[in-house]
Amino acid sequence: MASSSTEDGALLTWYRNRIAEPTTDDEVYGYWLFVFGVVIGLFGVLLAGSTAGQTSGSFQRLAGIALGGLGLLFVLIGPIIRLPLERRATRVAYVGAAISVLAIVWLVLSFDGGRGQRSIVFGTYGIGMAVIALGAILVPMMNETDGETAVSAAESSAQRAQADADSARMEADEHRAEADDLREQVAARTDELAVLHDSAATFELYEDRGGKYRWRLRHRNSNIIADSAQGYSRRVDAQNGIESVRRNALGGALVELETEIDDSTDEAETGVVAYPPGESKATFELYEDNAGGYRWRLQHANGNIIADSGEGYTERREAEAAIERVSERAGPAQYLRADPTAFEVYQDAAEEWRWRLIHKNGKILADSGEGYASRSGARDAVDRVRSGLGDDDYEFEVYEDTAGKYRWRLEADNGEIVADSGQGFSEERGARQSVDRVEGHAPDAATLDIGLAAFEVFEDSAGQYRWRLRHRNGNILADGGQGYSSRTKAFDGIDSVKRNAPNAETTDA
């Protein structure tokens, strides 16, 4: 075993030094088998050729033929072993070599046989050599066909994989774009939420005079930004309404409507109630009173007088003009529920904006004393009065006018008169009591912007609640003509006039 390993090492060393670095041991063994086959093949040819004059059955001739056949076998099988063929091709070559070796052995054992037997032996040897050639040539060709099929299948799989990868890449890009959009939306919502968390307004929950719970959103500048528009029978329902606004206001879409008609049962806190146009259930009656003056009254179909002129007119056309004014202005007229006082902002005959503080009994507690060029100027003055009553920068002054009446005014440090009593009092005590009422009621009084006219609800000396429609110039256009036992019924009377006056016909009583 040691000598065999030494011999193999010598063959490998000689091949490495003289030819090339072998990649496998079979490469060296195939080379030396080829060399050995050339040597013994030439020896066999020379040996067989030297017996040309001898008989065909001599041992020398037999040995030459056998060595020549064996040398040819080694010459053919050596390169096959040396080449990096697949295991299947090598096995086929080994089978062919075994057939050829068996044919050579058969030749040696039966050399004395006849020519026919030698032909069979040589044919068997040729079959073995052909099998060797098939293993070296045809098997790799078959493998090449299989390889091409495998390569084609692999290419198809690669193409499908590439298509899947491209599709996945496109989907990933789409998802990435959607994620970017979502990220931007989240960032925008986060900014909006940050603004909401730093709100400049406060929700107020209160109970109205009808026992219903309502809410309103008041800005820190005292403006009402939003309200519930309806009353709730339970406090918790009003609280749920507030929470619903908080949840849904941020993402609410803006829809611009051509015309919006509010339900007559939805009364805002400011008393702005609009009614759809339709057939009136009342009629204006124009008549002449006992003093010869012309008056009008608005009579419902049920026989109730829901409004009257409150005063007489010397001429019929003046009463007709008054009816026309009421028809035009009663519907859009606003009303404010004084509790117990309220500010009215209105435009006077000189088209200047003013304000006045009205008590629920209908009396004017204070007014602006001067006009303003814009509605916002008058509202700012109201805000200054509210905030200035408890401020050292403003001071009430009670004085006696040229007519001997006592009045008061609210004066700022810069000398500006921001409010006055609007009327005179016979005694100084009355003026000071008026100051006390203004200081007590003005800070919590609501504000109403008056258009051409506004309804006023007040309590008369008999404890009855009445209403009147006052023009912005101060004139009384109409009144209820009767007293009501509660403020709610007085407001119901106003709603009846607002529904029926605009389209009512006029007849002579």
pLDDT at 166: 82
Confidence category of residue 190, pLDDT binned at 50, 70, 90: confident
Nearest to 496 by CA among 331, 343, 358: 331
- Provide the pLDDT for residue 265: 37
Find the length of the chain.
509
Average pLDDT of the segment spanning 50-65: 66
More confident position, 459 or 221: 459
Res 271: pLDDT = 43
Q: Are 131 and 92 in contact (CB under 8 A)?
A: yes
Q: What is the pLDDT of residues 450-475, one digit of tens each?
A: 667 778 777 778 888 888 887 767 77
* pLDDT of the residue at 251: 60
Tokens 């408890």 found at: 390
Predicted confidence (pLDDT) at residue 404 exceeds the cutoff of 80 = yes
Q: What share of the chain is helix, strand, coil (3-state, %, to 5)?
A: 50, 20, 30
Dist. CA 439–CA 412, nearest whole Å: 15
* Across 69-78, 287-296, 318-327, least confident range: 69-78
Q: Extract the tokens encoding 270.
A: 């400011």
Helices (H), 83-114: 87-109
The pLDDT of residue 347 is above 80: no
Query: pLDDT > 90: what percent of the chain?
Result: 0
Confidence of residue 262 (pLDDT cuts 50, 70, 90): very low
Pairwise CA distance, residues 410 & 404, whole Å: 20
Q: Which segment, 47-61, 170-184, 357-371, is predicted with the most confidence on average?
A: 170-184
Identify whether the C-beta of residue 82 lies closer than 8 Å to the C-beta of residue 31. Answer: yes
User: Is 310 a residue whose pLDDT tops 70?
Assistant: yes
Q: What is the pLDDT of residue 79?
A: 75
Place of tokens 């076998």: 73
- The answer on pLDDT for 92 being more than 70 is yes
Label the pairing between strands 341-347 and 334-335: unpaired
18-22, 81-85, 118-122, 239-243: which is most confident: 239-243
Cα(359)–Cα(340) distance, integer angstroms = 6
What pLDDT, in 10s, does the model give residues 269-303?
444 444 445 567 888 888 888 888 888 888 888 88
pLDDT in tens, 122-159: 777 778 778 777 776 765 565 554 555 556 667 777 77
CA pair distance 427, 408, nearest whole angstrom: 12
Residue 343 sits at φ, ψ, to 5 deg, of -90, 140
pLDDT band for 115, please (50, 70, 90 cuts): low
- Name the pairing type of β-strands 364-367 and 453-459: unpaired
**pLDDT tens per residue, range 206-220:** 877 667 788 888 776
Q: In this predicted structure, what is the pLDDT of residue 266?
A: 41
Whole-number average pLDDT of the chain? 75
Q: Span 250-273, mean pLDDT? A: 48
The pLDDT confidence band at residue 196, using thresholds 50, 70 and 90, is low
The pLDDT value given to residue 38: 77
Which ranges of 250-337 does DSSP label H, i.e. alpha helix? 316-329
What pTM value is reported for the model?
A: 0.35
Can you give the pLDDT at residue 2?
45
Question: Please, which pLDDT band fits residue 91 given cuts at 50, 70 and 90?
Answer: confident
Strand ordering across the sheet containing 417-420: 394-400, 406-412, 417-420, 364-367, 353-359, 341-347, 446-449
Per-residue pLDDT at 439:
78
Contacts of 15 (CB under 8 A, 6+ apart): 22, 27, 28, 31, 32
Structure tokens at 173: 């890009």
Average pLDDT over residues 46-60: 65
Ranges 27-36, 101-110, 180-189, 444-453: which has the least confidence:
444-453
Helix (H) or strand (E) holding 112: none
Distance of CA 267 to the CA centre of its chain: 34
Using DSSP's 3-state secondary structure scheme, residue 372 falls into strand
- Non-local (6+) Cβ contacts of 336 within 8 A are 270, 271, 342, 344, 358, 446, 447, 448, 454
For residue 237, what pLDDT band results from cuts at 50, 70 and 90?
confident
pLDDT of 65 over the 70 cut? yes
The per-residue DSSP string of 22-42 comes to -SSHHHHHHHHHHHHHHHHHH
